[in-house]
Amino acid sequence: MALDGIKQKMLALNVKAEEAETKNEELTAKVKTLEQENLAKEQEITSLSHRNQLLEAEVEKLEGHVKEAKVGMNDSAQAATQNESLQRRLQLLEDEAEESDKTLRETNEKLRQTDIKAGHYERKVQALEESRDQWETKYEEMSKKYAEANKALEDFRREIEGL
């Protein structure tokens, strides 16, 4: 009867060890996914930063054109039309630059959240690995005790048969 209890405990420990291993694999996969998302977001940030720089350079260039247009402008209709066109284009570029800045800030926040999640899951994986190692150690100890109990039972049987 005691051996049956030990067998059941060993089976339960085996199941728990397998469950911990499965959970460990799932969390490891999740960490890899988060790291890939993190890399993609970093690339997006780099792309948006570069685009933002280009837009800012274009804004400065257009502001220079606007200043030149104002200085050299006379009352002719053509100069007024060109100035209005440049003003509209400047406004559109400024709006686009603001939108790029907003997207960059949002992406940075998402990246920060992803980093936090990755750290959390890495800690979970580490804890599960430690738990798994403990269960494996317990399993090995129980296997040794089981083998010793079997040997003692066998010795006892031989002793009884010898009587």
Tell me: the pLDDT tens digits for 95-109?
988 998 899 899 899
What is the pLDDT at residue 20? Answer: 84
- The residue ranges of the chain whose pLDDT is under 70 are 1, 69, 71-77, 79
For residue 39, give Cα distances in angstroms to 33, 93, 118. 10, 29, 12
What is the pLDDT at residue 10? Answer: 86
Q: Of 56, 115, 94, nearest to 107 (Cα)? A: 115
Q: Of 42, 24, 26, 44, nearest to 115 (Cα)? A: 42
**Do 60 and 80 touch, CB atoms closer than 8 A?**
no
What is the pLDDT at residue 109? Answer: 93
Residue recorded with tokens 């970093």: 42
Integer-rounded Cα Rg, in Å, for the chain is 35
Spatial distance between the Cα atoms of 148 and 21, rounded to a whole number of angstroms: 28
For residue 2, give Cα distances in angstroms to 41, 154, 158. 58, 14, 19
Span 127-159, pLDDT tens digits: 889 999 999 999 999 999 999 999 999 999 998
What is the pLDDT at residue 82? Answer: 81
